[in-house]
Chain A
Amino acid sequence: MIQFLMNGEINKQINCTVKIVSKFTLLFCFLILALWGNAQNKINGKKIYETRCLVCHQADGGGVPNMNPPLDGSTNVQGKDIVRLVKIIRNGYDERVALDGMYYNNAMTANPDLKEDAIADVLSYIRTSWSNKAGLVTISQVKAALFKNKAAKK
């Protein structure tokens, strides 16, 4: 036994295995953390949606005909223009442009008190809920968008 342990070859091997295993463990932990984080973000996004958005866009994301647009299936919601989405959440929206070919008469409430992480969470939520299958939105994307919007205002 001792002899074995003393054996440099094997020792190296063990060392190596430990290293690899610990690397995997680390990676695994990260993965779990990331998944858990995502889940947390999704829960948080859902909570924000339910308290601030559901009243108009409805539980199924289907909106109210002629009044509030659907978010489920919306091209813009699943699109690449994150800057626009962030701006809509922060400042509200009242533009009367066609959204997927339809016009809506209501005015959307602004959310001046929503922090960057909360905006990222609620956008991630609406982009991945119902039939929507777009990418998550990160805090740094939100920060960049808010910076851009601010610069545009000046």
Chain B
Amino acid sequence: MKKQIQLVSIIIFAFCMNIIAQENAGLTLPTGFKANLYANNIGSARHITITKSGIVFAKLNNPNKEGNAIIRLEDTNNDGIADKINGFAKYGGTGIFVKGNSLYASSNEAIFKYELDSKDEVLNPLTPHTIVSGLLDRRQHNSKSITFDKGNNIYVNIGAYSNACQEKDRMPGSQGMMPCPILDSAGGIWKFDGTKENQTYKDGKRYATGLRNVLGLDWNTETNQLYVAQHGRDQLNSFYPNLYSDAQNAELPAETFYEIKEGDNAGWPYVYYDPSQHKKIVSPEYGGDSKKEGSAEFKEPVVAFPAHMAPMAVLFYTGNQFPAKYKNGAFISFHGSWNRAPLPQEGFFVAFVPFKDGKATGEWEIFANGFAGMENGTKVANPNKAKARPCGLAQGPDGSIYVSDDTKGAIFKISYNK
């Protein structure tokens, strides 16, 4: 019996040591970078934002065990690990953004504003100001990601509550509606005044349209422009098996990254982007045959990523800690796919998109990988087996970047030391 206990404790000890000793919190990174687990198990952490003094706020998709859906994390002893963690707010959601002394957070239908004191403590956790309410939430693509320009304007994604704007959503053979009525109130980015309370649709402006669902958006302060990453449509092979094989569906359509100017139209639901033909192709619901090219009025992406990987956040790097090539380039987190099945899934990493003279080069590379925690680099077969799925991105005051995970609620901190 004693021996057994001894053995068990040795095994447990070895197991713990293994976790603690896991280099770079299990992530693979470019040379010179290191990662550690800043926090873990805080709840389904969607987007994150960081104040000038380094306080991290995370928005949870659903309230955690304590019933809180915004988590404040502080690393008081500067060892890279959050040691003071508390929370507030009862509503689930995705968006969170610190602007000056204000903290903005979104539910799936509204945007709220909190005030921060000199220690970045929230002054009105129970009584936030409602900035915008009544935004469409029809479940599908209901996350309201938010960002700000250099001024006080909020940009919010209102995702389309549909896959391809069929008369009946996801019904085989159902035609695409022409024009797509969803685009009046969703399927785009809306702009609101971040300082005004109690706004609704009529106070905002549709800034860009033809975007099926945008989780990742960020303002490029260098060029003063909005950039967004779209989640492309699903299920080409399920609905049009004569036009698309399983293998083709796994690669179609590309996940697209756009430079947005006011009034732009990215073309959903009428077209999708085919990364091998390098073209916008007419959707089969709108008479496409997998080859017919879409109208030139629709926006071209600046980068096309492999299909279905689900870009969750965009972060323009403005820090000085990382090597020069990262400055003013964009990090994009990828949640990892499900619609590539029956083929193995892709994504579950953070990519880097280099910029030169304010323009994306069109290239991209994997920056941080290994979130899914698969043994020996095997592919994820089922997304529910991924240990972590990258979601939010934020930059700390020292130039480190933070990546949140919305499965168990880990936050990874990634730094560079020559």
Contacts and interface: CB of A to CB of B under 8 A. Distances in A.
Interface of A: 50-52, 54-56, 58-60, 62-68, 70, 92, 94, 96, 103, 105-110, 112-113
Contact of B381 (A50, A52, A59): A59
Given A54-B341, A105-B142, A64 B170 contact: no
A68 B383 CA distance: 11
A65 B341 contact: no
Contacts, number: 71
B305 to A, nearest CB: 19
Contacts of A62: 382, 384-385
Given A92-B171, A94-B139, A54 B382 contact: no
A52 B241 CA distance: 11
B172 interface: yes
B140 interface: yes
A110 B168 contact: yes
A112 B139 CA distance: 23
B341 A55 contact: yes
A95 to B, nearest CB: 9
B407 interface: yes
Interface string B150-185: 000000000000000000111110000000000000
A10 to B, nearest CB: 64
Nearest to A105: B139
A108 B170 contact: yes
A56 B141 CA distance: 16
B379 to A, nearest CB: 13
A118 to B, nearest CB: 14
Nearest to B337: A64
Contact of A107 (B140, B385, B389): B140
A52 B383 CA distance: 18
Contacts of B62: 103
Nearest to A55: B341
B339 interface: yes
A56 B171 contact: no
Nearest to A66: B61
B139 A59 contact: no
A99 B28 CA distance: 36
* 3 A-B pairs with the lowest CB-CB distances in the bound complex, closest first: A62-B384, A64-B338, A109-B170
Nearest to A108: B170
A110 B171 contact: yes
22 contacts: A51-B238, A54-B342, A55-B235, A58-B338, A58-B341, A59-B342, A60-B381, A63-B384, A64-B384, A65-B383, A70-B384, A92-B171, A96-B139, A105-B140, A106-B140, A107-B139, A108-B170, A109-B172, A109-B235, A110-B168, A110-B170, A110-B172
Interface string B55-96: 000000110000000000000000000000000000000000
B186 to A, nearest CB: 14
A96 B161 CA distance: 13
B41 to A, nearest CB: 15
A62 B382 CA distance: 7
A50 B342 contact: yes
B238 A52 contact: yes
A94 to B, nearest CB: 7
Q: What secondary structure prevails in chain A residues at the interface with B?
A: loop
Contact of B339 (A50, A55, A96, A108): A55
Contacts of A52: 238
Given A58-B382, A59-B341, A59-B381, 5 more contacts: A54-B341, A60-B382, A64-B338, A64-B383, A110-B170
Contacts of A64: 338, 383-384
Contacts of A109: 170-172, 235, 238
Contacts of B385: 60, 62
A65 B407 contact: yes
Contacts of A107: 139-140, 169-170
A42 to B, nearest CB: 19
A110 B381 CA distance: 25
A58 B381 CA distance: 9
Interface in B335-352: 338-339, 341-342
Nearest to A109: B170
A112 B173 CA distance: 11
Nearest to A58: B382
Contacts of B172: 109-110, 112-113
A67 B384 CA distance: 11
Contacts of A96: 139
A45 B197 CA distance: 55
Q: Which of A66, A70, A96, A108 has the most CB of B within 10 A?
A: A66
A56 B342 contact: no
Interface in B318-347: 338-339, 341-342
A86 to B, nearest CB: 18
Contact of B338 (A68, A94, A110): A68
A11 to B, nearest CB: 63
B238 A55 contact: yes
Nearest to A64: B338
Contacts of A50: 342
A107 B139 CA distance: 8
A102 B320 CA distance: 42
B338 A56 contact: yes
B381 A65 contact: no
